[in-house]
Amino acid sequence: MKTLKALKRELLNNPGVQAAYEAQSAEFAIVHELIAARMRAGLTQHQLAERMGTTQSAIARLEGGKRAPSMSTVQRYAQAAGCKAVFRLEPLTA
């Protein structure tokens, strides 16, 4: 049985899979930051949802990364987690 790490490495050897993975890297980074902020705050999805005035299932969908959240949603999430959202553009590296 393959480990998840081994399977990922194998799949990313396929150029098509690699391109699709890289195209979604920004969304993965956003989701990672959201979850990390909630965890640092010591909050469950339910607790964060209450602070945002939404449902736990909405937070689960947001953290599931199926689609990119709006900037206003990210700001509300950050505030509920005791953070502030910061946005910046960085130059592409060669």
Q: What would the two tokens of residue 35 be?
A: 């979850």
49 belongs to a structural domain:
yes
Question: The whole model's pTM is what?
Answer: 0.76
**pLDDT computed for residue 85 by the predictor:** 94
**pLDDT computed for residue 18 by the predictor:** 87
26 belongs to a structural domain:
yes
CATH, residue 35: 1.10.260.40
Looking at the 3D structure of the chain, how many domains does it have? 1
92 belongs to a structural domain:
no
Q: Give tens-digit pLDDT for 1-39.
A: 889 888 888 988 998 988 887 877 778 889 999 999 999
What CA–CA distance (Å, rounded) separates 40 from 66? 23
94 belongs to a structural domain:
no
Does residue 92 register a pLDDT over 90? no
Q: Give tens-digit pLDDT for 27-36.
A: 888 999 999 9
**pLDDT computed for residue 35 by the predictor:** 97
What CA–CA distance (Å, rounded) separates 73 from 76? 5
Q: Which amino acid is at 60?
A: A
